[in-house]
Amino acid sequence: MIIAVQPFEVMTQLCAANSMIPSYRIIAPGTMIDSAHFRLLISEKLDISPASITGIMIGGHGHNNLPLWNSITVGGIHLLSENTSIGTSHDKENWHQLHRNVNQRQEDVIKIKGTEVWSISMASSELVECILRNKREIHTVTVNIKDHYGVKTDLFLSIPAIISQNGVSHLITMNLANHQNENEFASIIQNIET
């Protein structure tokens, strides 16, 4: 079941609680859109095609998202290996501004078009294709993260997951080694739980 109604975290949890469908088969686009904006902004900053860039945002869609600076690669090279201050308070290149710009870009889309329905539809159709063709692609989708990241109850947030014909076949546990990321993700979990 693909949930294409916002807020993704609330709606996936609601559907899981009120259906007989196993939670690994209930997903939403989550931060797929945020991650796409993130990669596009990185590509604009570096003047390199987005096709050569990887990078994800986890957490909740919109203002509850978190950029994983250690996930950014450009042509296979980890950006943090070139600049260890990226995303920190010591970042002289203002990479942390990209996070604000991702959220601002989404707000701008809503102001211009009145809705995010097109981007949600595109992300959802990508998930449908993954499921129908058993593509086993990794996407940052809203899924049940119970038993991951210290979560002991049903809680739906976006993390990377392998999407196959059965829905979520595997959750990818990200390294939140950066203490700031760990604290911010814990804060996002707390915001969603309340």
Look-up of token digits 């900053």:
45
Ramachandran region, residue 136 (left: φ > 0; alpha: ψ -120 to 50; beta: rest): left
Cα separation, 31 vs 141, in Å, equals 6
Active-site annotation holds for 61? yes
Cα separation, 117 vs 102, in Å, equals 17
For the chain, how many residues are written? 194
* Nearest Cα residue to 91 out of 78, 104, 82: 82
End-to-end CA distance of the chain: 25
Task: Identify whether the C-beta of residue 156 lies closer than 8 Å to the C-beta of residue 142.
Answer: yes
Cα separation, 10 vs 174, in Å, equals 22
- Pick the catalytic residue: 61, 99, 148, 170? 61
Query: 2 pairs with which residues across the strands?
Result: 27
Residue 27, both tokens: 């997903």
Q: Which residues are annotated as catalytic?
A: 61
